[in-house]
Structure 1
Amino acid sequence: MKVAILETVKASAGFELEFDRIIIEALQEAGHEPVMMMPAGTVLDQNFDVPKYELSGGSIISYDGVKGLKKVWYSYLRETRRVKWFDSALEVAEKEGIDAILLTTATYRYLRALKKSKLRLGNVPVNFIFLGVNPSEKPKFLKKAKECLPYKNIHLCVTTLRDDFGNEKPDNVKLIKPPVMIPAGCKSKSAADVLRIGFFGHYRKGEKNIGWLLNSITGAQFKIPVKFIIQLAPTTEEDRQEVEKIVDGWKNDKRVEFISHKLLKDDWYNAIQSVDVVYLPYTAERYLYNWSAIYFTAIGAKKPVLTTKTLNPEVMEKYSIGEYIDTTDYEIFRNQLEEFVNNYETNKAHYNDALEKANQEYSKSAFIRSLF
């Protein structure tokens, strides 16, 4: 099939384009012909090396750095343009013989625009891919989903590890498991003589217990050499100053290496490939409902994890790909980290076996089969 990815959210590097990249690779591996649809004049940070079709209706609207009334205005502009992009997408699809359209990071707001667009009345199948639906969004999502029931070409695909809908799920909604987020060209690097544990993400003061991880360097009793690779990409000026203090305080300790800038595109995957274990201390409630991109990158890279019982718990309930950590008590955390490190060589084969099985269930090919 000739399948178009309709990208209207961002042209700059980030999750949206990485998800597009993964889906394009998966489509190609399955024998499909992926193409891109974008508002006219859009220049992506990545070259996917697939045909591109331009849409009329205006340029992409970015919320980066926008606040207050200006953001309200931008929100109105984005929705107005989204209707025009949808109309244009139908015209392009019919003209160019496109068999299906994918919107890869949809929200219920897309369905609001869809109701005003000709796209809902076409014969081209349109798959809206949602990255989970949390309890606060669920009533709005269900309302919009039911309004789409008369449109037989519209399919709503929720990527999730759980079923929070039960009998409420409309017939046009399908639940599918998310894919591993690793490009085909990225291969796992062989482990070095030292066990490398990596944390990757933004730094916000007080979040993610980075202090506990650093304290364990001197406070824990490790029986094998360990090195911590810690990304601390600040998001504010205050955070930047805090990061500088942390890095300066540990600059002479060879057991820790800091990355204080953003990691984009292949740099992101290469950094994750360079470690043996990925540290995932996330505890926000949203991770019960929305799958974590870095978690599924770690799975795709076949890296054992240190994670919490809040972060996509369905994975560890089925596959023992690592160990849990406690984020409420430092002594418990330190003991868990010690036990994990000191038993790593004994348990590594078990983790690897579980990772192989997880990769089969969450494979990109399984995702494409479920999607269509």
Structure 2
Amino acid sequence: MRIAIFENIMTSGGHEVDFDRILVDELRALGHEIILYVPEGFHFGMDYRVPVEFLPGAPVIYTNARGIRKLFRSVQRERRRFGWYRALYAAAQRGAFDALIVPTSTYRYLRALRQSVLRRSPVPVIFIQHGINPNEAPNFFAAVDALAKHPQIRPVVLTFGDTVFGERRANVRLIPPPTFVPRDIDVVPHPPAAADEPITIGFFGQFRREKHLEELLRVYLSGNYTRPVRLLVQGSTMHAEDAAEFERIIAAYEGKGITFLHRGLIGAEWQRAISEVDALLLPYSASRYRYHWGAMLFTAIGFQKPVLTSDDMNPEVFAEYPVGVTFPSGDTAALRGALETFINEYDSHIREWRTALAAAAAHYAPTQFARRLVAVLTEND
């Protein structure tokens, strides 16, 4: 099949970029031809090495505006979305591709689709939702119900169950998300560190206040550890105020057995950094992780790294695959105890964690994900 991927989220790096790469690489590996469709003026975070078609209009407007300006920007976004949909419909009509995937969408994409000619697409169209939270659910169901009579529109929700809050829709497909795996480096498996050798635990990703980094560092430094351990903290920042806050934290805690890296990592450099640590620390406490898959958790599984994380991080995964240690979300005392358990008992648990990681990696493999998407695209053939 000739599969078009319509991307309109412009970022220099991050998991959106890598998610698109999963689609491109894995669908191509299955023998499909991939074409990227993007708005005019779009800048890619990486070269996917496939043909690119530019749609009339401009990239999505990113803004921190409020009030009337925010409303105005929202209207602008909606108008541009309608324009892109018209252009994609025209391309489908002239046979430019056999199927279309929108890799990261929300109920707003589906709501706009109700008034767009693209709802009558002659080819299957997948809109991938990376999770549905309780507040979004009514809007999501209203949108998909309004599209139920258009069989080529096939919303896909990345989730771990067979319902969305106990509800099913015939036109909504539910599939598990994929892992992120090393694609640009050679990974040589190595035995677990000896008990007298330090293990390195990595804390990676964009610096955001919701990750409570300084609180984490205080808890980490207060722990009693019976084996050598190091902590690597990598963070990228998008805004000046975040950068200043991160630099303040670095100045306060560097030289205390913690190494900091304040910059973004992309491609092989990112993959190498993940591969060189022994475990990943994901102590995020946010309810959205109960409804949206955790990209860093699925990076850990793909790179075969055990994790320490809060119990609101995709609990369905841990129920099936014990790939590390969890603690009650938001409980600082429990986090300290979990850190001590994770580090002090690392040597006695690493083999069982690795067994669980291998099983999880097989179930959530990117190749399996691509096959599931193709099954959705071809289900009426």
Q: Same fold (TM over 0.5)?
A: yes
Amino acid paired to 1:117: S
The separation in 2 between residues aligned to 1:41 and 1:208, in whole angstroms, is 33
Post-superposition Cα deviations, 1:101-137, rounded to whole Å, max 9, x if no partner, equal 0001111111222122222212111011101111111
Deviations 1:185-229 (A, max 9, x none): 345464664201111134445x43434543455433323211100
Which residue matches 2:20?
20
TM-score of the aligned structures, taking structure 1 as reference length: 0.91
| Worse-matched range after superposition: 270-279 or 299-308 | 270-279
Give the corresponding residue for 1:108: 107
1:242/1:70 CA distance change after superposition, 3 Å: same
Decide whether the 8 Å contact of 1:4 with 1:37 is kept in 2. yes
Q: Which moved more, 1:90-99 or 1:135-144?
A: 90-99
TM-score normalised by L of structure 2: 0.89
1:169 offset after TM fit, Å?
A: 1.8
**Match of residue 262 from structure 2:** 260
Using the TM superposition, give the Cα deviation of residue 9 of structure 1 relative to its aligned residue in structure 2, in angstroms: 2.6
Give the corresponding residue for 1:344.
346
In the alignment, is residue 324 of structure 1 matched against residue 323 of structure 2? Answer: no
1:232 Cα deviation (Å)?
Answer: 4.1
1:153 paired to 2:152: yes
Alignment identity in percent? 36
Q: Which moved more, 1:118-127 or 1:239-248?
A: 239-248
Distance verdict in 2 for CA 1:39–1:218, change over 3 Å: closer
CA distance in 1, matches of 2:243, 2:173: 43
Structure 2 residue matching 1:48: 3-state secondary structure: coil
1:250 corresponds to 2:249:
no
Q: Which residue of 2 aligns with 1:231?
A: 234
**Aligned mates of 1:54, 1:322 — CA distance in 2:** 44
Q: Is the CA contact 2:184–2:267 (under 8 Å) kept in the aligned structure 1?
A: no
CA contact (8 A) 1:10 1:62 kept: no
Question: Per-residue CA shift, 1:267-312, capped at 9, x if unaligned?
Answer: 3333222211111112211111111111111111111000111110
Aligned residues: 369
Q: Contact between 1:157 and 1:174, CA under 8 Å: does it hold in 2? A: yes
Contact 1:224–1:342 (Cα < 8 Å) also in 2:
yes
For 2:317, the equivalent position in structure 1 comes to 315
Q: Distance in 2 between matches of 1:237 and 1:147?
A: 43
Q: Comparing 132-141 with 265-274, which one deviates more in the overlay?
A: 265-274
Per-residue deviation, 1:93: 2.9
Measured against aligned partners, the alpha-carbon deviations of 1:142-195 in whole angstroms (never above 9, x if no partner) come to 111011111111101001113443763221101010000224334546466420
Instruction: Judge conservation of contact 1:222–1:342 (CA < 8 Å) in 2.
Output: yes
Match of 2:130 in 1: 131
Q: Does the Cα contact within 8 Å between 1:179 and 1:367 map onto a contact in 2?
A: yes
Distance 1:136 1:22 in 2: 29
1:38 aligned residue: 38
The alpha-carbon distance between structure 1 residues 103 and 328, as it changes in their structure 2 partners (threshold 3 A), is closer
Q: Which residue of 2 aligns with 1:176?
A: 175
Distance 1:152 1:225 in 2: 58
Q: 1: CA distance between counterparts of 2:9 and 2:283?
A: 28
**Corresponding residue for 1:75?**
74
Q: Assess, with a 3 A threshold, how the Cα gap between structure 1 residues 215 and 77 changes in structure 2: closer, same or farther.
A: closer
Unmatched 5+ stretches in structure 1: none
Counterpart-to-counterpart distance in 2, 1:354 and 1:265? 26
Kept in 1, the 8 Å contact 2:103–2:128? The answer is yes
- How far apart are the structure 2 equivalents of 1:226 and 1:279? 13
Q: CA deviation at 1:341?
A: 1.4
Cα 1:366–1:170 change in 2 (3 A) is same
Single out whichever of 157-166 and 171-180 deviates more from structure 2. Answer: 157-166
Q: Distance in 2 between matches of 1:250 and 1:299?
A: 29
> In the TM superposition, what is the alpha-carbon distance from 1:80 to its structure 2 partner?
1.0
Cα distance in 1 between the residues matched to 2:83 and 2:36: 17
Q: Is the Cα contact below 8 Å between 1:11 and 1:42 reproduced in 2?
A: no
> Which deviations, in whole Å up to 9, do the C-alpha atoms of 1:308-336 show, x marking residues without a partner?
11110011110011111345554443332
Residue aligned with 2:100, SS: strand
Partner secondary structure for residue 103 of structure 1: strand
Q: CA deviation at 1:236?
A: 5.3
**Segment of structure 1 superposing worse, 181-190 or 102-111:** 181-190
| 1:194 aligns to 2:202 (yes or no) | no
